[in-house]
Each structure stands twice: as C-alpha cells, then as structure tokens.
Amino acid sequence: MKSIRVALAGNPNVGKTSILNHLAGTNLKVGNWPGVTVEKREGKVKFWDYEINLVDLPGVYTLEPISEDEWVAYNYITQEKPDLILNIIETPNMERDLLLTVELLEYEIPLIIVLNMTDEARKLGIEVNDRWLSELLGVRVLRTNGRTGEGVKVLLPNIVEVFNLKEKPKALRYSKELEDILEKVREREDETKAELIRKLLNSEKFRELRESIKSLMGREVQDVIRDERYAKAHGLYREVVERKPLTARDITDSLDKVLLHPIFGIPIFFLLMFLLFKFSFDFSAPLMEWVEGFVNGFIAPAISEGLSLMGVGDWVQRLFAEAFIGGVGFVLTFVPLIAVIYFLLALMEFSGYLPRVAFLMDRFMHKLGLHGKSLVPLLLGFGCNVPAIVATRALETKRDKFLVMAMIPFMSCPARLVVFSFFAVLFFKNPAVIIFSLYLLGIFVAFLTALLLRKTLYGGTLYHFVMELPPYRLPTLRLLFRVVWVYVRDFLYRAGTLIFAASVFIWLLLNLPPGVKNPSESLAGQIGKAISPIFKPLGLEDWRISTSLIPAFLAREIVLSSMGTIYTAEVEKREEPFVFLEALKGQAIGFGNALKEAVINIFKPVPTAFEVEEEGSDSLRSLIAQSISPASALAFMVFLLLYTSCLGTVAVMWREAGKGFALTFLAYSLLVGWLFGFFAYRIGSMIWNT
C-alpha cells in the first residue's frame, strides 16, 4: 500500500479542521507538534490502494513566520515537503486567501485548491469561475462545504489522481523584471521559485545584486517580492471572481451588535459562562455518580470474582481492586464532566464566539499583562484544571501559554470544595466565609505567580493584539461529537497510562513491606512519619495527616477516605453476593435514571453543583476534631488549595509543557502551599487560640 502525505494549508478560520474531520472521521488524532505547544491534528484515511496521511497545518496568512504556530506551518512546507497540499480557501475572503496560494505555488509542490464556503460567498455576491482559475494555475479546483461536509469525499479520488499523475502546477510568472532577476540567481535547472527567492533574499553571494536592485527600484528586494505576490493574488482575483453588488443583511453583523456591545457584551459573556458551568456540572453530576457506581459496584466485584475463580493470589486481587479501580476507576468518573465541557467549548469555538471573548475581555486582561484569550482557560479552571490546561492550546505565544498554565492550578475546583466543606463545617461557625476566602486566596496566588513569572522568566512586552473574528456559523452535531470523542479518547489513553502507573506506585507504598496490616507500619506510614516534622510549623505534626496526603496525590478528595482508613485503621470490606446478570441489569437501569436526572438538572435555575454536602462519617469527624485545632485545619485547607495534589493536572501539564515545567511547578506549588499554610496557621493561632 502506498502512502501519500497531504498537508492542509490555509488562512486561520477557513474551515481546515472541519474538512479534516469530515475526511478522517474518527481516525483523527490530536497531539502537539514536537517541541512546541501548538496543537497538531492528523488523520489517516484508507482510500483505494492508498493510505492518505493528512496533517492540518496551523492557519497562516503568509509564509513569513513570526509566531510559533506560523513557524510550524512554514517548517512543514519547506522542510518536510508534503507530497500534496490541499490549499483551503474561504471563498468570501478569497482575495486575501490567494496571497497564501501564490506563496504555496512557489514551492512547486502538487496542489489542489479547495474553495470552501461557496454558499456563503454566493450570499455575499461572490461568484468564482473555478474552471478559469484551474486553467490559469494548472491545478484542480474543488468546492466543499466544511460545515455540512458536502463535497469533501470528492477530495480523496482527486488527491490520489494528482499524486499518481504527478500533476504539478503551472510555473508561476511574476513580472518580467522580477523573473529576469530570478534567472540571474538560478544555478541549476530544477530549482524551484521558492529556492530562487530564498537565495536572492538571503545568500551572501547575491549581496551585490540586492544592493543594485535596491538602488534601481528604490525599495528593499524583500518589499519588491512582497508587492509582486500581492499583485499576483490581486490579479488572479480580478480574473476569476465576479462580484455582484448585493446588500444582504449579514447575520454576523447583527449578532455582533449585541454580543460585542460595549456595555452589554460583558454581562452577556458572564451569563454565558455561568450557563456553561451550570450545564456542564449539572448535566454530568448524575452521570459521574453513575460511573462511580458502575466502577465500584460492577467492574470491581466482577474483576475480583473473576480473579478468585482463576485462583489468583490475594495480593493480586487487592492490587486490582485498590490500585486499578481506586486509581484508574476514579479518573474514569471525570470523563462525563470532561466530555460535556469539551462539547460546550467546541460549540463556542466552532460557532465563532470564543475568539470574540478574547476581543471583549482583553481590556481587563491586558492590564494584568495577559492576552484577552487567557481568560477562558482560567475560568474553566474553576470547573476542572485538566481541560483548562488543555484549553491553553488556543493561546498564540509560548509565554502566554506557560503563564496561564502556571495560574490554572490555583483556581479552586470542586474536588477541593469537597475537602473544604468537610473541614469548614467541622471547625468554623461561618463555613461559607471560609470557603469563599479560600477561592479568593487561590485567585490571588494565581496572579501573584503570573507577576513573578513576568518579572523573571517571561518578561518582555505584551504581544500586539491582532486577530480575525470569523463569521458566526452553526456547527453540525456530528462534527461536535467527533471532536469530543477525539479529546476524550486522548484523555483516556494518555492520562490513563500514567495514572495507572502512579496508582500502582502509591498502592505499593501503602501495602509494603509484605503482610503489613496497619497503615502506620507501611512504607507510606513511615514516610508520613518521616515528613511530619516538615508540617509541624503548620500545626500538622500528626503523622496521620501527613500520611493521608500521600494517596491524596491522585486527587485531593481522596484525602478524606484515606484519613478514614488511617484514623480508624480499619479496612472495611463489604461482602455482598455478586450475580453478574442481575448486577448488569441494575447498572443499565441506573444509567437510564442518571441520564434522566442529567436532563432535568439542566432546567433547574440554581446550579446543583454548589450545594454543599456533609462529607465523611461521624466517627471520623470527632476523631479529627480532637486531633487538630481550627488554626491547623485552616492551614491544612490552604495547603491543599495551593499544592497541586492532583495527578490528572500534573499529567496533563507534563504532556502540554514538558516534564521540567510540570515537576518544577509541582515543587513550586508545594513551597507556596507550605508558606501560605504557615501564615494561615500563625494568623489562625492568634485569632482562635488566645
């Protein structure tokens, strides 16, 4: 089977990603370009006897790169040299888009022009003579509708034919003056126009030639070439496009009048964000509960039943039940939440609202030294840090990405709320005030971190704000579900492997040396005792507290159950008879109920996610109340707020920004958590212990 490497190139927002989605279906992969934090989307399609590998290049206006994503696209075209380029053009903006087409043609790589959104163009009075365009350039010109997927399948046979016939575009002709100059640079017969231009602009050999052109034409050579390209693109446009004067009312203009209103735009944004949160939490909460029940009440007993039937040793059974179910199963419960957040985010992105948020909120964010686009990931952090960190991919510069990534973990998520409500209710008269103050402290530390980073590592001036706002479009459900599936699969696979490894490690700490009965004798207990002096200045010298933090590294709310085990030193074991079919039926009914509840939740006016429930058992309550003081409890909450005690967050940071960043940040968060915990303990002691 032959393989064809195809690059999708085009300006930003022309619908490349939608076309790739329609072409590759669920065979789509998301990842990062090596060495940079730019998202890479790839797809593989089997067609006839060929394997077509599609790569979605970052959207660029020109092949003169400035930012990281522009360099990625440039390097791919110039160095990796794809077998074929699909040049996607957003037909309503064809004149602008043709500049990139001209630049791509300089590389003399087989190319197909894809006129996307011709229906929108027609409404704007733009008609393209594609046959004439095809003849002028010597390339195939096809029409698609990226939104619905119309015309996309025809691309595949055309790709194969162009590849087989080695159809090369006609040689691009600039003005006679420029062509003559380029011939002077030519040293070999087969040099492409792009190579000639690069030599003319950069080679030491042609310095004199450059000087003479400059004095002759009164401009830098670079500008001469740029002007020629613009002229070529403009000329092409005039040749192939017929414009009819139409005064159709544009839906985008009308919507922008409301959504980008100088006064009402911002309250509307906050309302939409509130709805996003409400929907994602209220809809996913019953489903998450169901997944938890499914894992603990069905998968776990089914596996241990199967293992004991196979006659596997007791410790293998426990490893599976506790490490696999406790670690990986726990992460699985977050899948509904992550899926719903991705769905709503994708809806916001593909509809065209997300870029507008950046424009709308930039006036506040840039005062803090951040780009307007940074706000969305930060807000998402209050929901769950993991998808929030993934959302930083939308930011353009590495500096902005790293800055925002270092802020997100301080945005308090619902997992922390579970722990806060346990301690706040137990120790304080006004738990709501304490919890609210903790949220504020998190935000404060986030901005403090950003300030520190800006003063040290990520200095420099703020990037100019330049971006395009695409027209509003309603994406199809099929497209949205595909995007969500790609992300969820990625989350399950990559995070799942790391989380399983870490769960096994922590389980071993709790269960070694072999035959250990009491948590205090285990390795974890010994480590807990060894590190307890570190926590003494926070008023947390009890080894049971420091030990409970070890399993809590998986996720913060585990701290409650691990405290339960360590304080009460009893591992409760439910022995219920397990009947496979019976249990399966129960799970199916449970799923139906959860789905029903999820839908009902959407229509409740008040978010159910903020209802504070009492956590933990009564006996644990009294045991903990006896063992620490209110000031220590406050210090403990502050520590857990700021320290990134969440394997999911560390794992996704590792993937997005690298090992060094993730581990340094983890150490930093420990330090910050300890420092603020220490202050909290000191201040608390002055207030409550006198």
Task: Point out which residues bind other proteins (CB under 8 A).
Answer: 61-62, 64, 66, 92-93, 95-96, 99-100, 124, 126, 226, 230, 252-253, 256, 260, 262, 265, 359-360, 362-364, 366, 464-471
Phi, psi of 369 (to 5 degrees): 80, 20
Q: For residues 124 and 443, which CB has a smaller minimum distance to other proteins in the complex?
A: 124
Q: Which is nearer to other proteins, 188 or 464 (CB)?
A: 464
Helix (H, G, I), strand (E, B) or coil at 395: coil
Q: Which is nearer to other proteins, 222 or 685 (CB)?
A: 222
Q: In angstroms, give the least distance from the CB of 367 to other proteins.
A: 9
269 or 636: CB nearest other proteins: 269
Nearer to other proteins, 376 or 545 (CB): 376
Q: Are 83 and 5 in contact, with CB atoms under 8 Å apart?
A: yes
Give the shortest CB-467-to-other proteins separation in angstroms.
Answer: 5
Closer to other proteins at the Cβ: 6 or 100? 100
Q: How far is the CB of 20 from other proteins (least distance, A)?
A: 22
φ, ψ for residue 614 (rounded to 5)? Answer: -80, 130
Of 555, 602, 620, give the one whose Cα is nearest residue 292.
555
Beta strand extents in 200-255 (DSSP E only):
241-243
Strand partners, 140: 112
- Please identify, using beta-carbon distances, which residue of 155 and 221 lies nearer to other proteins: 221
Task: Report the residue number, 326 or 471, with the smaller CB distance to other proteins.
Answer: 471
Backbone φ, ψ for residue 55 (5° rounding):
-125, 130
523: nearest Cα among 538, 513, 537, 514: 513
With beta carbons less than 8 A apart as the criterion, state whether 446 and 410 touch. yes
Cβ count near 503 (within 10 Å): 24
Those residues with Cβ within 8 angstroms of residue 531's Cβ, 6 or more apart along the chain or in another chain = 546
C-beta of 9: minimal distance to other proteins in Å?
14
Closest approach, Cβ 60 to other proteins, in A, equals 8
Least separation in angstroms between CB 62 and other proteins: 4
What is the rounded distance in angstroms from the CA atom of residue 330 to the CA atom of residue 576? 21
Residue number, 322 or 362, with CB nearest to other proteins:
362
13 and 252 Cβ atoms separated by less than 8 Å: no
What does the longest C-alpha to C-alpha distance in the chain come to? 93
Helix 477-490, helix 335-351: angle, nearest 10: 130
Cβ-count burial 297-336 (b if 16+ within 10 Å, e if not): bbbbbeebbebeeeeeeeeebebbbbbbbbbbbbbbbbbb
Residue 509 Cα distances to 316, 384, 526, angstroms: 15, 28, 9
Q: Measured from the CB atom, is 329 or 470 closer to other proteins?
A: 470
- Closest distance of CB 596 from other proteins, Å: 42
CB of 372 to other proteins, least distance (A): 8
Q: How far is 61 from 43, CA to CA, in rounded Å? A: 23
628 with 685: CB under 8 angstroms? no
Measure the CA–CA gap between 85 and 137, rounded to whole angstroms.
Answer: 14
* Residue closer to other proteins (CB basis): 100 or 566: 100
Helices (H), 491-557: 496-511, 523-531, 543-548
Least Å distance between CB 239 and other proteins?
17
Instruction: Measure the CA–CA gap between 57 and 78, rounded to whole angstroms.
Output: 12
Provide the 3-class DSSP secondary structure of residue 72. Answer: helix
| Cβ-based nearer residue to other proteins, 69 or 195 | 69
Q: 99 vs 552, which CB is nearer to other proteins?
A: 99
Helices (H), 300-430: 300-310, 314-318, 330-332, 335-351, 353-365, 375-381, 385-390, 398-407, 414-427
Question: Strand 140-144 relative to strand 111-116: parallel, antiparallel, unpaired?
Answer: parallel
Among candidate residues 340, 302, 336, 347, the one with its CA nearest the CA of residue 321:
302
Which residue bears the tokens 């789509």? 28
Q: How far is the CB of 17 from other proteins (least distance, A)?
A: 18
Residue 342 · residue 487 · CB < 8 Å = yes
DSSP secondary structure code for residue 470 in this structure = P
Rounded to a whole number of angstroms, the minimum distance from the CB of residue 298 to other proteins is: 51
Minimum distance between the CB of residue 362 and other proteins, rounded to whole angstroms? 6
Q: Alpha-carbon distance 627 to 623, whole Å?
A: 6
Q: Token digits for 455? A: 């003063």
In this complex, which beta carbon is closest to other proteins, that of residue 225 or of residue 620? 225
Minimum CB separation of residue 26 from other proteins in Å reads 32
First to last CA, the chain: 80
> Residue 375 CB, nearest distance to other proteins (Å)?
13
Based on CB atoms, which residue is closest to other proteins, 249 or 429? 249
- Nearest distance from C-beta of residue 681 to other proteins, angstroms: 41
Question: Which structure tokens are listed for 40?
Answer: 């890479």
